[in-house]
Amino acid sequence: MNVLVTGSCGQLGRSLAVLAEGCGKEFIYTGRKEDPESGVVALDITDVEAVRNIVKENDIDAIVNCAGYTDVERAESEEDKAFAVNAEAVGILASVAKESGATLIHISTDYVFDGRSSEPYGEDAEPAPLSAYGRSKFAGELAVLASGCRHIIIRSAWLYSRYGKNFVKTILEKTSSQSSIKVVEDQVGTPTFAGDLAEFIMYVIDNDMLDKDGIYNYTNEGVCSWYDLACEVCDLSGHLCDVLPCKTSDFPTGVERPAFSVLDKTKVKQTFGIDIPHWKDSLRFCMANMA
Protein backbone atom coordinates (compact mmCIF):
# COMPACT_ATOMS: atom_id res chain seq x y z
CA MET A 1 0.00 0.00 0.00
CA ASN A 2 1.23 3.48 -0.90
CA VAL A 3 0.23 6.39 1.32
CA LEU A 4 0.57 10.10 0.60
CA VAL A 5 0.78 12.38 3.66
CA THR A 6 0.28 16.13 3.35
CA GLY A 7 1.30 18.58 6.07
CA SER A 8 4.09 16.21 7.07
CA CYS A 9 6.03 18.81 9.06
CA GLY A 10 3.15 19.43 11.49
CA GLN A 11 2.35 17.69 14.75
CA LEU A 12 0.23 14.91 13.28
CA GLY A 13 2.38 14.39 10.20
CA ARG A 14 5.52 14.00 12.26
CA SER A 15 3.76 11.65 14.68
CA LEU A 16 2.63 9.52 11.74
CA ALA A 17 6.16 9.36 10.33
CA VAL A 18 7.48 7.93 13.59
CA LEU A 19 4.82 5.22 13.68
CA ALA A 20 5.18 4.36 9.99
CA GLU A 21 8.87 3.47 10.21
CA GLY A 22 9.32 -0.17 9.27
CA CYS A 23 5.58 -0.77 8.80
CA GLY A 24 6.07 -2.35 5.38
CA LYS A 25 4.08 0.29 3.52
CA GLU A 26 5.38 3.07 1.32
CA PHE A 27 4.79 6.55 2.75
CA ILE A 28 5.39 9.68 0.70
CA TYR A 29 5.65 12.73 2.94
CA THR A 30 4.90 16.18 1.55
CA GLY A 31 4.86 19.74 2.82
CA ARG A 32 4.92 23.32 1.62
CA LYS A 33 8.71 23.17 1.36
CA GLU A 34 11.12 20.37 0.60
CA ASP A 35 13.09 19.04 3.56
CA PRO A 36 15.70 16.54 2.35
CA GLU A 37 16.81 15.77 5.90
CA SER A 38 13.40 14.39 6.86
CA GLY A 39 12.51 13.15 3.39
CA VAL A 40 9.66 15.63 2.89
CA VAL A 41 8.85 16.47 -0.73
CA ALA A 42 7.46 19.88 -1.67
CA LEU A 43 3.82 19.78 -2.80
CA ASP A 44 1.42 22.64 -3.41
CA ILE A 45 -1.93 21.08 -2.55
CA THR A 46 -3.72 24.04 -4.16
CA ASP A 47 -2.28 22.92 -7.53
CA VAL A 48 -4.52 20.18 -8.94
CA GLU A 49 -1.98 19.05 -11.53
CA ALA A 50 0.78 18.76 -8.95
CA VAL A 51 -1.49 16.66 -6.71
CA ARG A 52 -2.67 14.55 -9.64
CA ASN A 53 0.90 13.88 -10.77
CA ILE A 54 2.25 12.78 -7.41
CA VAL A 55 -0.74 10.51 -6.81
CA LYS A 56 -0.41 8.92 -10.25
CA GLU A 57 3.37 8.57 -10.20
CA ASN A 58 3.35 6.87 -6.80
CA ASP A 59 0.22 4.77 -7.35
CA ILE A 60 -1.30 6.15 -4.15
CA ASP A 61 -3.91 4.08 -2.29
CA ALA A 62 -4.59 6.50 0.57
CA ILE A 63 -4.11 10.22 1.14
CA VAL A 64 -3.81 11.42 4.73
CA ASN A 65 -4.44 15.16 4.75
CA CYS A 66 -2.72 16.64 7.80
CA ALA A 67 -2.27 20.04 6.12
CA GLY A 68 -4.25 23.00 7.32
CA TYR A 69 -4.39 26.72 7.94
CA THR A 70 -4.60 26.59 11.73
CA ASP A 71 -4.03 30.18 12.89
CA VAL A 72 -7.52 30.80 14.26
CA GLU A 73 -7.00 34.49 14.98
CA ARG A 74 -5.24 35.39 11.74
CA ALA A 75 -7.92 33.57 9.75
CA GLU A 76 -10.35 36.36 10.66
CA SER A 77 -8.35 38.79 8.52
CA GLU A 78 -7.09 36.18 6.04
CA GLU A 79 -10.25 34.21 5.43
CA ASP A 80 -9.40 33.79 1.74
CA LYS A 81 -6.10 32.12 2.65
CA ALA A 82 -7.79 29.90 5.23
CA PHE A 83 -10.35 28.79 2.64
CA ALA A 84 -7.64 28.18 0.03
CA VAL A 85 -5.94 25.59 2.26
CA ASN A 86 -8.81 24.28 4.39
CA ALA A 87 -11.49 24.07 1.69
CA GLU A 88 -10.29 24.56 -1.90
CA ALA A 89 -7.17 22.40 -1.51
CA VAL A 90 -9.21 19.76 0.28
CA GLY A 91 -11.57 19.71 -2.70
CA ILE A 92 -8.58 19.13 -4.97
CA LEU A 93 -7.31 16.24 -2.84
CA ALA A 94 -10.80 14.75 -2.79
CA SER A 95 -11.31 15.05 -6.55
CA VAL A 96 -7.94 13.43 -7.26
CA ALA A 97 -8.75 10.68 -4.76
CA LYS A 98 -12.01 10.09 -6.63
CA GLU A 99 -10.20 9.92 -9.97
CA SER A 100 -7.56 7.48 -8.72
CA GLY A 101 -9.73 5.35 -6.44
CA ALA A 102 -7.72 6.33 -3.37
CA THR A 103 -9.24 6.89 0.07
CA LEU A 104 -8.91 10.37 1.58
CA ILE A 105 -8.37 10.53 5.34
CA HIS A 106 -9.06 14.16 6.17
CA ILE A 107 -8.57 15.88 9.53
CA SER A 108 -11.26 18.33 10.61
CA THR A 109 -12.05 20.08 13.87
CA ASP A 110 -14.44 20.76 16.73
CA TYR A 111 -14.59 24.36 15.48
CA VAL A 112 -17.29 23.34 13.01
CA PHE A 113 -19.66 23.59 16.01
CA ASP A 114 -20.82 26.69 17.89
CA GLY A 115 -20.18 25.24 21.35
CA ARG A 116 -23.67 26.00 22.64
CA SER A 117 -24.62 22.39 23.28
CA SER A 118 -24.86 20.96 26.80
CA GLU A 119 -24.10 17.44 25.58
CA PRO A 120 -21.16 15.99 23.59
CA TYR A 121 -21.49 16.54 19.87
CA GLY A 122 -22.22 13.50 17.74
CA GLU A 123 -21.20 13.27 14.11
CA ASP A 124 -24.75 14.06 13.02
CA ALA A 125 -24.99 17.29 15.02
CA GLU A 126 -25.65 20.36 12.89
CA PRO A 127 -22.43 22.33 12.22
CA ALA A 128 -22.60 26.04 13.01
CA PRO A 129 -19.06 27.46 12.96
CA LEU A 130 -18.46 30.75 14.74
CA SER A 131 -15.16 31.75 13.14
CA ALA A 132 -13.52 32.06 9.73
CA TYR A 133 -11.34 29.09 10.63
CA GLY A 134 -14.38 27.00 11.54
CA ARG A 135 -16.20 28.02 8.36
CA SER A 136 -13.20 27.06 6.23
CA LYS A 137 -12.89 23.65 7.89
CA PHE A 138 -16.60 22.93 7.48
CA ALA A 139 -16.33 23.93 3.82
CA GLY A 140 -13.51 21.39 3.52
CA GLU A 141 -15.76 18.66 4.89
CA LEU A 142 -18.47 19.58 2.39
CA ALA A 143 -15.94 19.46 -0.45
CA VAL A 144 -14.95 15.92 0.49
CA LEU A 145 -18.56 14.78 0.66
CA ALA A 146 -19.44 16.45 -2.65
CA SER A 147 -16.52 14.77 -4.45
CA GLY A 148 -17.89 11.27 -3.99
CA CYS A 149 -14.46 9.92 -3.09
CA ARG A 150 -13.89 7.20 -0.51
CA HIS A 151 -13.29 9.15 2.65
CA ILE A 152 -12.76 9.08 6.40
CA ILE A 153 -13.21 12.53 7.90
CA ILE A 154 -11.85 12.77 11.45
CA ARG A 155 -12.97 15.65 13.66
CA SER A 156 -10.47 16.22 16.43
CA ALA A 157 -9.65 18.96 18.94
CA TRP A 158 -6.99 20.58 21.12
CA LEU A 159 -4.09 18.79 19.44
CA TYR A 160 -0.71 18.68 21.19
CA SER A 161 2.54 16.73 20.94
CA ARG A 162 6.26 17.04 21.49
CA TYR A 163 6.50 18.74 18.08
CA GLY A 164 5.91 22.30 16.97
CA LYS A 165 3.87 24.91 18.82
CA ASN A 166 0.93 23.86 20.97
CA PHE A 167 -0.83 24.70 24.22
CA VAL A 168 1.00 22.12 26.34
CA LYS A 169 4.43 23.36 25.26
CA THR A 170 3.35 26.97 25.79
CA ILE A 171 2.20 26.22 29.35
CA LEU A 172 5.44 24.36 30.07
CA GLU A 173 7.43 27.38 28.97
CA LYS A 174 5.32 29.89 30.91
CA THR A 175 5.17 27.91 34.16
CA SER A 176 8.93 27.43 34.09
CA SER A 177 9.62 31.17 33.94
CA GLN A 178 6.68 32.91 35.63
CA SER A 179 5.37 32.87 39.19
CA SER A 180 1.73 32.87 38.07
CA ILE A 181 -0.31 32.65 34.88
CA LYS A 182 -4.00 32.99 34.02
CA VAL A 183 -5.82 30.44 31.89
CA VAL A 184 -9.45 30.44 30.76
CA GLU A 185 -11.78 28.08 32.58
CA ASP A 186 -14.97 28.68 30.59
CA GLN A 187 -13.91 26.84 27.44
CA VAL A 188 -14.44 23.09 27.84
CA GLY A 189 -13.39 20.24 25.57
CA THR A 190 -10.93 17.36 25.37
CA PRO A 191 -7.21 17.45 24.55
CA THR A 192 -5.91 15.12 21.85
CA PHE A 193 -2.41 13.68 21.89
CA ALA A 194 -1.23 13.66 18.27
CA GLY A 195 0.48 10.32 18.88
CA ASP A 196 -2.87 8.71 19.74
CA LEU A 197 -4.58 10.16 16.68
CA ALA A 198 -1.66 8.97 14.53
CA GLU A 199 -1.98 5.49 16.03
CA PHE A 200 -5.66 5.40 15.12
CA ILE A 201 -4.90 6.41 11.52
CA MET A 202 -2.17 3.76 11.30
CA TYR A 203 -4.61 1.20 12.73
CA VAL A 204 -7.10 2.02 9.97
CA ILE A 205 -4.41 1.69 7.30
CA ASP A 206 -2.77 -1.45 8.73
CA ASN A 207 -6.10 -3.25 9.08
CA ASP A 208 -7.31 -2.26 5.62
CA MET A 209 -10.35 -0.42 6.98
CA LEU A 210 -10.22 2.34 4.38
CA ASP A 211 -13.68 1.44 3.09
CA LYS A 212 -15.47 2.64 6.23
CA ASP A 213 -16.67 5.91 4.72
CA GLY A 214 -17.96 8.56 7.05
CA ILE A 215 -17.32 11.32 9.54
CA TYR A 216 -15.84 10.27 12.88
CA ASN A 217 -15.01 12.10 16.09
CA TYR A 218 -11.64 11.35 17.67
CA THR A 219 -10.19 13.00 20.76
CA ASN A 220 -8.86 11.48 23.94
CA GLU A 221 -11.40 10.45 26.58
CA GLY A 222 -12.50 12.74 29.38
CA VAL A 223 -13.50 16.39 29.67
CA CYS A 224 -11.60 19.42 30.94
CA SER A 225 -11.17 23.15 30.54
CA TRP A 226 -8.03 24.87 29.31
CA TYR A 227 -7.45 25.80 32.96
CA ASP A 228 -7.70 22.15 34.04
CA LEU A 229 -5.25 21.14 31.33
CA ALA A 230 -2.80 23.86 32.32
CA CYS A 231 -2.98 22.80 35.98
CA GLU A 232 -2.23 19.20 35.00
CA VAL A 233 0.73 20.25 32.86
CA CYS A 234 2.11 22.37 35.68
CA ASP A 235 1.67 19.58 38.26
CA LEU A 236 3.34 16.96 36.05
CA SER A 237 6.25 19.27 35.29
CA GLY A 238 6.85 20.10 38.94
CA HIS A 239 7.06 23.80 38.13
CA LEU A 240 6.40 26.19 41.00
CA CYS A 241 3.84 28.43 39.36
CA ASP A 242 0.32 29.45 40.39
CA VAL A 243 -2.17 28.67 37.62
CA LEU A 244 -5.16 30.97 38.09
CA PRO A 245 -8.58 30.64 36.42
CA CYS A 246 -10.03 33.46 34.36
CA LYS A 247 -12.82 34.07 31.84
CA THR A 248 -12.58 34.23 28.07
CA SER A 249 -13.78 37.83 28.30
CA ASP A 250 -10.61 38.68 30.24
CA PHE A 251 -8.57 38.06 27.09
CA PRO A 252 -10.60 39.40 24.14
CA THR A 253 -9.12 38.29 20.80
CA GLY A 254 -11.75 39.13 18.21
CA VAL A 255 -12.43 35.45 17.58
CA GLU A 256 -15.42 33.66 19.05
CA ARG A 257 -14.45 30.15 20.10
CA PRO A 258 -16.80 27.29 21.01
CA ALA A 259 -17.31 27.30 24.80
CA PHE A 260 -18.19 23.61 24.82
CA SER A 261 -16.65 21.34 22.20
CA VAL A 262 -16.69 17.86 23.73
CA LEU A 263 -17.06 15.27 20.96
CA ASP A 264 -18.96 11.99 21.33
CA LYS A 265 -16.67 9.13 20.24
CA THR A 266 -19.18 6.26 20.37
CA LYS A 267 -19.26 5.85 16.58
CA VAL A 268 -15.50 5.60 16.07
CA LYS A 269 -15.10 3.12 18.94
CA GLN A 270 -17.90 0.88 17.71
CA THR A 271 -17.03 1.05 14.01
CA PHE A 272 -13.32 0.36 14.38
CA GLY A 273 -13.35 -1.60 17.63
CA ILE A 274 -10.84 0.62 19.38
CA ASP A 275 -10.23 1.90 22.88
CA ILE A 276 -9.21 5.52 23.37
CA PRO A 277 -6.84 6.62 26.17
CA HIS A 278 -7.90 9.20 28.76
CA TRP A 279 -6.39 12.62 28.22
CA LYS A 280 -4.55 12.58 31.54
CA ASP A 281 -2.81 9.29 30.70
CA SER A 282 -1.79 10.51 27.26
CA LEU A 283 -0.57 13.84 28.60
CA ARG A 284 1.56 12.02 31.16
CA PHE A 285 3.05 9.82 28.43
CA CYS A 286 3.73 12.76 26.11
CA MET A 287 5.44 14.84 28.77
CA ALA A 288 7.56 11.92 29.92
CA ASN A 289 8.88 11.60 26.36
CA MET A 290 9.51 15.25 25.57
CA ALA A 291 13.09 16.12 24.70
Burial-class residue 203 by CB neighbours within 10 Å (0-12, 13-18, 19+). middle
Q: Are 254 and 130 in contact (CB under 8 A)?
A: no
Asked if 111 is an active-site residue, the reply is no
Q: Please, where are the H alpha helices in the chain?
A: 11-20, 48-57, 79-83, 89-100, 132-147, 167-177, 194-206, 226-237, 266-272, 279-288
Mapped to the 3 state alphabet, what secondary structure does 129-190 carry? CCCHHHHHHHHHHHHHHHHCCEEEEEEECCEECCCCCCHHHHHHHHHHHCCEEEEECCCEEC
The catalytically annotated residue of 133, 160, 163, 227 is 133
Nearest CA-CA partner of 151 in 127, 123, 112, 126: 123
Q: What is the largest CA-CA distance in the chain?
A: 56
Amino acid, res. 240:
L
Measure the CA dihedral 135/141/145/146, to 10°.
40
Query: Cα(223)–Cα(229) distance, rounded to whole angstroms?
Result: 10
Query: Cα(66)–Cα(221) distance, rounded to whole angstroms?
Result: 22
Phi, psi dihedral angles at 236 (to 5 degrees): -65, -30
* Catalytic residue set: 133
